[in-house]
Structure 1
């Protein structure tokens, strides 16, 4: 299956027999070991590994590296070929990461870093590491370079690894410092956040400091660190947080069958991603996210990029990212799918439903941090309070800080309910639904129920402010949610969202 050749700038390496380990429906290929001699007066040794992966390769290919004692730093560089392919055929893409001597067990403790396809080389030592990787001692034992053949061209994927060990006394490891779980806040209030962001600790191009500055400029009160398949950024946000900005810690768990944001986990939490939907393992890691104090939020569920479409179902979801970045047809499909889930929840008379979120997924210029943003009613600007507001659906999504909504339903005897709540009135009680909008010039308001769109307003004035009301009953509408839409140039399709709310449920349930 794989041809491997070893050359060296120093001694020649050797390759043992390959072993194929199959676990569930996923397969991982482990190659023969790359050996290094003990230091023996050398400052540095290098080995070169070459091989070719055919189409249909396992999701992960591990290259064992026998690391002797006395190593100060391990450095790995890699290249692979990118041959021309016919139109409509995927070319080569090869991800990379590393596990230390504690092994590659799923969910184990051996993870030391992942850069996907964002970097061509990395290093790890006690006092420092390449962004995406975890600093710490380079201990003696069998390390594993993890290759992820994301896509393989019909011609196959030829790669070359250059592994360099530097000997010497290890540097002094610094204790990680994490951001606080509380910011000053405004008591019970509406707080704006963006929970899906990427820095240079995965495939983004911005530093945490740059993201923090952009978050403040976007009027955000909280953000969430969500690097692809690594928690290496967690210890680099403390200086960004402040009384005016709460920084939550998490990960974008990027599997081959969809991505999920682990939102607000304990500092230093790593969530494994090496499984597919057919492996029936996602529930284990969703529970791990919750044990670590986080929320499970499937991201961009209808994205069309390879491996991005969500295939694990929504039984474990605490919320779902319906709007991701600039509004697109993918988001329109996600919105419709989410609305169908709301209908199913009321049809089954279930008291559980999945709230919607919106996040920027910003990586680099011109991606706008805070476009869109989730606006959450929370008792305080703390990790726990923000998560509780998201989980309860007390939130709406807006394209920017300029857009603000107030959405309520009221009965004839003073009953009142807001976003994410239930108005407990009898089936035939008249209900008034009211939306106050600011910052949405010439936008149209739509009220959507389990029967579909039942009310559409005239365009709001150029000032962008207005009030829209509609009357209904619980027997006619089991829930009502609001959409604020931009104008459309042509055609029957609605305009892009400027904002939308989670529902208000009507009736005694």
Structure 2
């Protein structure tokens, strides 16, 4: 075993096309070139101060004849004053093709979920991509997520195994179509994590939970890696459409790449100030995906969305069990609806909801987005989400039917426009099942203009409200649980995208 020390003192700062990054001194195995068997290990130690760059790269000179790379790491976690962030260090790896932003060198990322990983031609640790181990300069990528005032001391152990490379595994991906019921309402959860990032469930376990929750489709969304894409084919079936994506986890917020082509990698190594997000939003769309900012008002470090919504195809307003940050996200989204009607109403951002489930006791399908789609295919589901033909419900027990009608037989549903004159009387009707003791609220660009009495314990009921396009530019519906006391509304049981009124 050979040991090396590295730190800020041995550095070359460079720009990757986004934020400044730090490259440390190389770890060399060059003397081992030509070996045909055995293992060799190098250990690197160093300390990162507060204010370190977002990404620190450790170059590793990999000689020929290697069939496996294994990396293990540890770092210190000293006590810190109350209210001060302690140490958290993420890790991943890029191969000999380099670390260029959006380049081809990405080989895996586990964030802070694992303390070691390996790669070889026929297999890899979940979150990492199997494939050839080629000669050249590889880079271990460190992400000092937060650094304590005392600094962050780390140790990395790199082991190369020599020998003949195994046979590469041909990836198999889930189909882009399930059986479906033609044009119908389909239920889905598009924000889920397996053990291929920081979740604790296998794809098979998630598939079983999705079916138990009454879901018709799901979308995979591992943090900063597409390594799971080839592990969902056995989960999909006639009754469950599995779409593929990524949760692009930047230091200024997270965004779902929803329903991209298999094998699509979307880079995350930039902040809002770097002016790079538009490039990768276009990357998502070119790969057939939707751009969906996730939990925009979440309170965890780096989770709050700071890139704006100009590139968004939809926004995740409700994430997991309903909490105050979801309420803030709902109000913020409603403000965006008001801005859209002020500017003509033609360009608005639909809302959706997902579970973000990682492990027990996280509930898959709490909440779920219910989409009116022409069939149970990736493109049809995406079309429904993009058009806003959807509502969000806390479970498959809750079903809504929401319509607006005019005096001459005109009618429109969720995400549509009722094209009537400004003063034409309009009737808005919501029918509900599965929501005992919940109240119905109709929300417009003026705010909440109607609140019903609580529904009976059967959970079934309906409410009607009368208005005109001159009085309400749009109407959306909410189902709210009972609240114990005070002026604040209860938690959501469901809500719809709007119906727009007027020409």
TM-score range, shorter chain: over 0.9
Displacement of 1:26 in angstroms is 1.5
- Does 2:102 match 1:107? yes
Q: Which residue does the alignment assign to 1:50?
A: 45
Q: How do 1:78-477 residues align onto structure 2 when only pairs under 5 Å count?
A: 78-477=73-472
CA-atom RMSD, angstroms?
1.1
Displacement of 1:40 in angstroms is 3.3
Structure-1 separation of matches of 2:27 and 2:37: 18
Q: Which residue does the alignment assign to 1:35?
A: 28
Displacement of 1:350 in angstroms is 3.8
After superposition, the C-alpha distances for 1:238-259 in whole angstroms (9 at most, x for unaligned) are 0000000000000000000000
Unmatched segments (≥5 aa) in structure 2: none
Structure-2 separation of matches of 1:174 and 1:320: 36
> Quick check: 2:35–2:162 contact (8 Å CA) kept in 1?
no
Structure-2 separation of matches of 1:85 and 1:373: 39
**For 2:51, what is the secondary structure of its paired residue?**
coil
Structure-2 separation of matches of 1:490 and 1:142: 63
- After superposition, the Cα gap between the structure-2 partners of 1:192 and 1:41, relative to the gap in structure 1 and judged at 3 Å, is closer
> Quick check: 2:438–2:459 contact (8 Å CA) kept in 1?
yes
After superposition, the C-alpha distances for 1:282-341 in whole angstroms (9 at most, x for unaligned) are 000000000000000000000000000000000000000000000000000000000000
Structure-2 separation of matches of 1:275 and 1:170: 35
Q: Which residue does the alignment assign to 1:493?
A: 488
- Does 2:1 match 1:18? no
If the length of structure 1 is used for normalisation, what is the TM-score?
Answer: 0.97
Displacement of 1:371 in angstroms is 0.3
Structure-2 separation of matches of 1:253 and 1:96: 15
Structure-2 separation of matches of 1:14 and 1:61: 14
> Quick check: 1:14–1:33 contact (8 Å CA) kept in 2?
no
**For 1:313, what is the secondary structure of its paired residue?**
coil
- After superposition, the Cα gap between the structure-2 partners of 1:232 and 1:120, relative to the gap in structure 1 and judged at 3 Å, is same
Q: Which residue does the alignment assign to 1:3?
A: none
**For 2:308, what is the secondary structure of its paired residue?**
coil
Structure-2 separation of matches of 1:74 and 1:459: 61
After superposition, the C-alpha distances for 1:204-241 in whole angstroms (9 at most, x for unaligned) are 00000000000000000000000000000000000000
Number of residue-to-residue matches in the alignment: 499
Displacement of 1:12 in angstroms is 5.6
Unmatched segments (≥5 aa) in structure 1: 1-8
**For 2:235, what is the secondary structure of its paired residue?**
coil
Displacement of 1:441 in angstroms is 0.2
Structure-1 separation of matches of 2:3 and 2:387: 60
> Quick check: 2:35–2:65 contact (8 Å CA) kept in 1?
no
Structure-2 separation of matches of 1:263 and 1:68: 38
Displacement of 1:27 in angstroms is 1.2
Displacement of 1:42 in angstroms is 4.9
Structure-2 separation of matches of 1:84 and 1:111: 34
**For 1:78, what is the secondary structure of its paired residue?**
strand
- After superposition, the Cα gap between the structure-2 partners of 1:41 and 1:482, relative to the gap in structure 1 and judged at 3 Å, is closer
Structure-2 separation of matches of 1:22 and 1:505: 46
After superposition, the C-alpha distances for 1:114-157 in whole angstroms (9 at most, x for unaligned) are 00000000000000000000000000000000000000000000
The 4+ residue runs of structure 1 with deviation greater than 2 A are 11-18, 22-25, 39-42
> Quick check: 1:85–1:154 contact (8 Å CA) kept in 2?
yes
- After superposition, the Cα gap between the structure-2 partners of 1:98 and 1:494, relative to the gap in structure 1 and judged at 3 Å, is same
Displacement of 1:174 in angstroms is 1.1
**For 2:205, what is the secondary structure of its paired residue?**
helix
Structure-2 separation of matches of 1:299 and 1:12: 42
Displacement of 1:18 in angstroms is 2.2
Displacement of 1:462 in angstroms is 0.6
Displacement of 1:348 in angstroms is 1.0
